[in-house]
Structures are given as structure tokens and as C-alpha cells.
Amino acid sequence: MRGFMKIPCTILAVVLALVMSVTLHGQGRPPAGQSPPAFDVDVTGYWTPALHEDGLERGGGPEIADYGGFALNEAGRLFALSYDPSRLTLRHHQCDAYVMPYQMRAVGNFRIWEERDPHTQQLIAIDVWAQTTEGHRVIWMDGRPHPPAWAPHSFAGFSTGRFVGNALEIFTTHLKQGWLRRNGSPESDQATVMEFIVRHGDHLSDTTVVTDPVYLTEPEVRSNDYVRQPGDHHAWLYACDDGEEITGRAPDAVPNYPFGKQPFAREYSQKYKLPLIASLAGAESMYPGFAAKAKNATEAEALAKIQPAPNQPSETSRAPNPEPRDGEIHVLPIRGNVYMLVGDGGNIVVQTGDQGAFVVDTGEGRLADTVIVAIRKLSQRPIQFIANTSMHGEHVGGNAKLAAAGSDPSLPGSFFDLQTPGGATGHLADPTHHATLMGQNNVVVRLEAAKASEDMIPSDTYLEERRRKFHNGELIELFHESNAVTDGDSIVHFRKSDVIATGDIFTTTQYPFIDLKNGGSVQGEIKALNDILSRTGYEHEEQGGTYIVPGHGYLSDEHEVVEYRDMVVIVRDRVQALIKAGATLEQVKAARVTADYDTRYGANSGPWTTAMFVEAVYNNLKQ
Amino acid sequence: MAGESVVTRRIALTTSLIVLAAIPNVCAQGRPGVPLGPPPSPRAAALIDITGYWVSLITEDWRYRQFTPPKGDYVSVPINPAGRKLADAWDPAKDEAAGEQCKAYGAAGIMRMPTRLHITWQDDDTLKLEADAGTQTRIFHFGSRQGAGIDWQGISLASWDYPRAPITSGFGGIDFGFTPPPPPGGSLKVVTTKLRPGYLRKNGVPYGAGTILTEYFDRFDLPGGDTLLLVTSEVNDPEYLAQPFWTSTHFKKQSDASGWNPTPCVSR
């Protein structure tokens, strides 16, 4: 048969060559060197997860202290042991979605579909919809790059994919903080995920490899299996609105357990007759031979796992600083005509419109000229107003140059203008050629005390809770947060755009800079974070909605503020408890009260170290 | 005229593409791109290389796999009443007395054990998978079945597997090229039967003699150099399962035999 087929094949080839040469006229030929299209595995359809692995955990829910098989480091383990499930009763946690790797393990149905270019039919993206938490992820297949480090994070993260062999290979970044397992086992916002999806008939397997420098010592490998369904399940929603689950609770209460005081730490091991150390041991619990080792562990070795190792130096942040230091100013559109500018220390917000630009903070000032160029590209009109969230240098550093580059046309012809040349001072003395600097009055007081030059000091100030201005078609409100980082902090809310600039009250890069000398306080910081949360709304399952521009770090939403607020409250609680027990500052430091957060926010050098933060909290609470 | 020209060109192009696409299918009558002549050995035709030393990563069903769970703890396994009855009667002492300590180390259970694997080509047609847990050996035969089976590892038939269309898209048995080509890679498929009854879990969750175990071995290369082996398995047991039992188990590639520690079967 093969011999017979050889002749027609040859003939076919010749005929084909002739036909092709005549008909194609050279059109549509692939460019030289272009490889044939990759094999595209079809993963689309309706899928139901087979919960034959970890079924109890994925269905009913996991048990406290069940961390076996997780390569949690000390910070991750302590974070989990400090976790009190009652935290989910807090308004801002009630509708928390799952981060993608955990989402893929959830119960409920899954639907996968393709997005194709309508004209070329090229594959643009593969979408996954998960019923639980209505998780929607998009896997971009068109070769686009991942967003910059200062772009927002989401529960689904940002995924790009390609076909490799018979697998769909996916890489995900920009995840929010969430759960490896919903018993407090954390996955940080620095985690990245490699994923491999293979299909065998009507069976889909998704292997996720989570790399988390903050909470894991080794990548966490898990796999999920799905069975193809012939049709629509008609069950895709997961309605959630937050409500008042516990009334009368103090606004600064975040349920948590002090180190070593998790009341259920032994429950899991006792229930299943396992050595206490077994589920606390981290990476070694994943490997063969572990059971024998665990059985030989002493009680002291196990107990050592439920509190910070003593006499250890503080860990430092494993999170790369998302702020670029390349001498450039990078512009990130937020919403509408509001932008975030990064690259000169503190984040800068610019709002544009048919009036002059409204700017929040001016960075360190190192790149002020570049900032001005960037703003001119965004706004045809000059900078008109500059609001300062703080008196700290990385927020007012560019005040003088940016103000000098702008003008405030609302002043010429007004009584202020008539006061010149003798009556007015500062920018008001020459309003046509300067933008107006705004800030809470204590910014002025502190800058003057620091002998700052007059041209960087706000002239338009407010004293109490609020300053309002309708500008560029929307209401902009400055709210005074007294005694947070300093006594002159403001948050700035662009009401229509629904963007809040927080200054250093909230950052994604460090512990809060509680500047006691300039009127800061830990209690004021917590109140300020809660004030931010009282003005935010989420779009869907605790993400989206109000955008939050931190003083430093990546563009956020309320979820990041909530996690940060929780952290400050929990550290405060620990320090407070130690103070009550009569601990000295040195004893508080030795207790490593930030051990579960140091791999995310800690620093042992630089302008704001972990030791400084703990000392500030201690001294403030001792007052 | 211009419109006619475009139409004519499109028809000609379509015809050409149909002819072009049909050629490899008509000529090769098999996996496109495979040259004529005697088929290569399974070893030479391997779609992926899974040989070497591998260590299991016990990250799922951890409590059931790292430790022997208590009697009657068969959460997640879709066993039927008969299976439940047997699991509730599990008696490791009885297994030991009967010399059946290896019941949890059979083909349907061994891959879930905390174990290291050593996978080699026994010959061009046979893959050998050794597990140090229980000192077990599985033999994957490409082609004809060999051996009588009815032991812990049964008879395993292997084939290289890649996604393929259930029918060709043409007519008259000829695929005109609309069926997608196979991927540049694939899986090892292993179907195991003729098993001696054993345990899916160490605490006596049973599988019967009529079990059919279907496994797919996939290899994933990670950035940074690590390699994973994913073994997706489907256990079909009409005797003790109410529905197929699906698991997917992963192993990490080792550069050498470090940690290799053959141990005897343990029943408790």
C-alpha cells in the first residue's frame, strides 16, 4: 500500500507546486524564518473539579494548624498561627476573593473560553470563570508583556500563556495577598505562579507552582483535576455583600492571637494523633522520610515552632521595591483623567481637565524637571494646584519647582491679587506665575520649623477635618488625618474618579513611618487607615472600585489597605500586651513582634528600620 | 474585475491548501511528519524523557500520605458501600499475618506514597519504574502484553499519547488537513490491569481485582532548571468505587540518586 502511494504522492507534490506558483502570486506567504503555528490545546468548555484530593479542606474547610506539606518559612507559619478565623467577620474581609492558585482548587464550576481577534481569528486570550467568588481570570496569549511593578494587583493576577508541547503554560504575577489554604496559611502579594494545563480526553489537569519569597522556602506544587461537562451548569454566581456581622466592635479591632497563644495549635495533631511538629515543619514535611523524623522530634522542638525563634536578627523584606530608579518618570493612568507618576521617590498624582492640573505631592524633587515635562504631556494647561499629603521630603521635595512651573489663574483679579505688592506673602505675592500649594496647616508649621525655603511651603491651608475644591469637573476633598504619620497628614479623595491619594499613611513598601517627633502616633495611623477604608468601595469581591495611591509602592485598592491596617493593629496589640506585662523596649524587640511581617516590610538598614518602627510603637504606647 | 480576481484567487488558494494538507496524511497514514520505513522503537519515538530519579512532593492529601490515617478515614475517595465496609474492617495485623504488608504499595497506591522513583529504559520497548517505598518495580510494556499479572503491580501497557481528533475532518477516510497536527510533545499513557487487590490508601481503602488504572505521565520544565513529573491517574474499580477516582501526583527531578532508600512494605 505504501509503495503504491509513493507515486501519487510525488505527482501530488509536483501538481501542488505548480498550482501554488500559479495561484498564490506570492501573496500570503509566511515571512522567511517564521515558524509554523504552535499546537493549541483546546481547554475550553464547562469543567467540574474532582475533589478527590484535599476534599475536606477544599469543601468544608481546613483546620487550624494544618500546614503539612507547605514549605512555609517562619514568617508564614507565624502568620498562620496568629490568624483568627473571626477576622472574616470584619466588613472588609467578608467578601475576600481567593487568589488564583487557591481559586483553581475551589469547589464550584469552571468555564473556559477563548477570545479571538474577529478579523484575524488569532488567539488573544483564554478566559477562566470560576463560580466560587465569581473569579474571572484572563490568560493573555498574544505575547503582551506583564505590567510594570507599580501596576495594581488582583486576586486573579496578570497571566500570560503559551503552548509548550501538549501543555498550556501560564505565568502569573501581580497577585494580591491571599491564602494558600484558608486557615491562615498565607500567600503574599509577591508570589508568582507557573502553571501547566494538560488535557487528556475529558480530563483537565492544572498544575500550579507558587513561588513566594515572602512566605515560602520552596515553590508549592499542587495540581487540580477537572472533568468536562457536556453543557452549561447554570450556576456561575457567588453573591456577596458585606454587612454588620458583629455590632459594637471597636473600629480598631482585628481578631488575632499573640505569638505562642494560638489556642487550637494542638487540636489538629491531637485529633489525628500526629506529632505536634508534623504540620508545622515546613518544607521537610513534603518529602519522603519525614514521618519517621517527625515521630522522633521532641516536644521542645515542636513548641519552638509556634513562636518566633529567640535571639534572631529581624528578617528583611523579600519584596522588591516597585519604585523605578531609572531616572525616568513613569505615568500610570488610573481612571478618567487621573494619573499616577512614579520614579521620584514618593508617588505623585495628577488630575487634568479643562482647568489647570491638580497635583498631589511632588516627590523628592530629584527629578522635578522630568516630572514637569511628564505633566505637560498630560495637561495642556499649567499646574494650578499642588496638595501635600505630608511635610516629609519625598512628598514636598519638588514643591518649589513644580509650583514655579505652574500658575493659578483663579487669583489674578481677586482681592489676593489686589493685595500685592505689599500685602500678600509667598506664592500669593505673585499668583500669576505660581501654582497654589495646599496642605494642612501643620505642614506649614513643621516646614517652617525645619527652615524650609518659603517657595516650597503651602500658602493655602486648612486647620480641621476637611478642605474641599471642585476642580476639573470633580470634587476633590482633603481630609486631615491628625497624628498618623505626622500631625499634618492629609488624604486626598478625587470623588468622581474615585481615587484616593494616601501619602505615607499607606505604603506597600515598608512599615508605617510613625514620626513621633512630628506628631505621629500608632493609634492615629490605625484611625487614618480606617478612615481611608470608610471612604472606599470595592467593585467585586473585595477588589477594584476605589483606587488607592500609596505614598510609596504600587497602585492599590482597599484590599491592600485592609491587609496593611490589619498588620499595624496586630503589631500594636502585641506591643501593647508586652507593655502590660511589664516588658522593656529591649524585651519587646527581642520578642520579634513583627516576625510574621518582616519578610514583607522589614528593613535592618536605611531611613526606616524594623527596630525604629517597633521602638516608635513602643514609645508611643508607653506615653 | 477586481472582485472576480479576488474570488478566483481565493478558490485557487483553498484548493491548493486542501491538496497541500492532504499530502502528508495520505502519504504517512499516521503521525504526520513520521518518515516512511520501519517504525522507530518506543524509546526512539519517546515524546518526553521521564527517565532519572524523582522525589515525590507530598503537598496534597498530606495527612493521608505522610502518615497512616485512622481506620474509616476515607474522605475524598468515592468508595461505594462495599468499599466502605471493607475499609471499616481494615486490620493491619491481619495483613501482616497473611504476608500482605504490600497491599498499599500496589500500582494504584504506590505513586501516592512518599517515595523516590527511578525510571529507566529496561530495553527499547520497556520502561522500568522503581519505587524505593516498599521496594516496588513497575514495568511498562509498549506493545504486546507480557506476564500473567495478578500481583501488586499488575500488567501495564504503555503508549505515547498526544491529543488527537476522534475523527478526521475529511471524507472517505482521508483527512484533508483540517485536523490539527499533533503537539511537539505529549504524554506517556499507561493502562494497568490484572492487579492483585490492594489499598488506595494505607488505611485499607480498597481496590479490587477488576481495577483498571489509567495514568498519564507529563513532564514540565520550570524556569530555573527544576523539572516536574505529573502523574494523573484514574482508578476505575466497579467493585469498590462509586465513580472513577482521580488524583494527580507530582514528583521533582533529582540530579542523582541521593536519598534513594529502598525500604520494605509496612502495613501500618
All residues of chain A having their beta carbon less than 8 Å from the beta carbon of residue B161 are 200
**B45: which DSSP letter?**
T
Q: B154 falls in which pLDDT band (50, 70, 90)?
A: very high
pLDDT at residue B26 is higher than 50:
no
Please report the pLDDT score of residue A5 as a whole number: 40
Residues B6, B58 share a domain: no
> Looking at the partner chain, which of B9, B77, B116 has a beta carbon nearest the beta carbon of A23?
B9
- B227: contact with A, CB 8 A cutoff: no
Q: For an interface test with A, give the residue of B62, B74, B115, B258 to mutate (most A CBs within 10 A).
A: B62
pLDDT at residue B5 is higher than 60:
no
Q: Which ipTM was obtained for this model?
A: 0.89
Q: Which helix (H) or strand (E) holds A383?
A: strand A383-387
Is the separation of the CB atoms in A219 and A127 below 8 Å?
Answer: no
- Residue B145 sits in a domain of what CATH number? 2.40.128
Q: Do the domain assignments include residue B5?
A: yes
Residues B129, B7 share a domain: no
Please report the pLDDT score of residue B17 as a whole number: 47
Q: For an interface test with B, give the residue of A12, A52, A185, A194 to mutate (most B CBs within 10 A).
A: A52
pLDDT digits (tens, 9 = 90+) for A506-524: 999 999 999 999 999 999 9
pLDDT at residue A96 is higher than 70:
yes
pLDDT at residue A27 is higher than 60:
no
CA–CA separation, B249 and B124 (whole Å): 26
CA–CA separation, A525 and A466 (whole Å): 17
- B71: contact with A, CB 8 A cutoff: no
> Looking at the partner chain, which of B36, B59, B61 has a beta carbon nearest the beta carbon of A286?
B59
Residues B192, B101 share a domain: yes
Residues B53, B8 share a domain: no
Please report the pLDDT score of residue A7 as a whole number: 41
User: Among all residues of chain A, which has the CA nearest to that of B229?
Assistant: A207
**Identity (one letter) of the amino acid at A11?**
I
Please report the pLDDT score of residue B169 as a whole number: 64
CA–CA separation, A408 and A356 (whole Å): 8
Q: Quick one: average pLDDT of A521-534?
A: 98
Q: Do the domain assignments include residue B173?
A: no
CA–CA separation, B268 and A24 (whole Å): 72
Q: Do the domain assignments include residue B178?
A: no
pLDDT digits (tens, 9 = 90+) for A583-604: 999 999 999 999 999 999 999 9
The count of structural domains within chain B is: 2
A-B CB pairs within 8 A amount to: 196
CA–CA separation, A298 and A160 (whole Å): 46
Q: Which helix (H) or strand (E) holds A203?
A: strand A203-211
Is the separation of the CB atoms in A399 and A362 below 8 Å?
Answer: yes
Burial class (CB in 10 A: 0-12, 13-18, 19+), A34: exposed
pLDDT at residue A6 is higher than 60:
no
Question: A272 and B63 in contact by Cβ < 8 A?
Answer: yes
All residues of chain B having their beta carbon less than 8 Å from the beta carbon of residue A198 are 187, 216, 218, 230, 232
Residues B64, B7 share a domain: no
Question: B75 and A41 in contact by Cβ < 8 A?
Answer: no
pLDDT digits (tens, 9 = 90+) for B109-151: 999 999 999 999 999 999 999 999 999 999 999 987 667 778 9
pLDDT at residue B2 is higher than 70:
no
Is the separation of the CB atoms in B267 and B92 below 8 Å?
Answer: yes
Q: Which helix (H) or strand (E) holds A155?
A: none
Residues A259/A264/A269/A271 CA torsion (nearest 10 deg): 180
Residues B55, B24 share a domain: no
Percent of chain A with pLDDT over 90: 85
Least confident of A119-133, A339-353, B5-19: B5-19
Is the separation of the CB atoms in B157 and B132 below 8 Å?
Answer: no
pLDDT digits (tens, 9 = 90+) for A383-431: 999 999 999 999 999 999 999 999 998 877 676 666 655 555 555 556 5
pLDDT digits (tens, 9 = 90+) for A51-85: 999 998 998 899 999 999 999 999 999 999 999 99
CA–CA separation, A12 and A4 (whole Å): 13
* Average pLDDT over all residues of chain A: 91
What are the cell numbers at B63?
Answer: 495527612
Q: Do the domain assignments include residue B167?
A: no
Minimal CA–CA distance to B138: which of B113, B163, B173?
Answer: B113
Q: For an interface test with A, give the residue of B20, B57, B61, B159 to mutate (most A CBs within 10 A).
A: B57
Q: Domains, chain A, ranges and CATH?
A: 46-56+70-229 (2.40.128), 333-558 (3.60.15.10)
Residues B80, B145 share a domain: yes
**Measured between CA atoms, how close is B1 to chain A, in angstroms?**
16
CA–CA separation, A393 and A364 (whole Å): 6
Q: A260 falls in which pLDDT band (50, 70, 90)?
A: very high
pLDDT at residue B167 is higher than 50:
yes
Please report the pLDDT score of residue B38 as a whole number: 85
User: Among all residues of chain B, which has the CA nearest to that of A295?
Assistant: B67
What are the cell numbers at A456?
Answer: 516650597
Q: B173 falls in which pLDDT band (50, 70, 90)?
A: low
- B260: contact with A, CB 8 A cutoff: no
User: Among all residues of chain B, which has the CA nearest to that of A226?
Assistant: B246
Residues B17, B68 share a domain: no
pLDDT digits (tens, 9 = 90+) for A547-563: 999 999 999 999 999 99
CA distance readout (Å), A118 to A121, A122, A146, A241: 6, 8, 24, 36
Minimal CA–CA distance to A254: which of A65, A97, A84?
Answer: A84
Domain containing B18 equals 1-31
Please report the pLDDT score of residue B19 as a whole number: 45
Residues B24, B131 share a domain: no
Residue A224: what are its φ and ψ, rounded to 5°? -125, 140
Burial class (CB in 10 A: 0-12, 13-18, 19+), A531: buried
User: Among all residues of chain A, which has the CA nearest to that of B164?
Assistant: A201
- B62: contact with A, CB 8 A cutoff: yes
Please report the pLDDT score of residue A40 as a whole number: 79
Query: Which residue's C-alpha cell is 515635562?
Result: A373
Please report the pLDDT score of residue A28 as a whole number: 32
Residues B51, B7 share a domain: no
Q: Do the domain assignments include residue B175?
A: no
- B162: contact with A, CB 8 A cutoff: yes
Instruction: Tell me if residue A38 falls in helix, strand or coil.
Output: coil
- B7: contact with A, CB 8 A cutoff: no
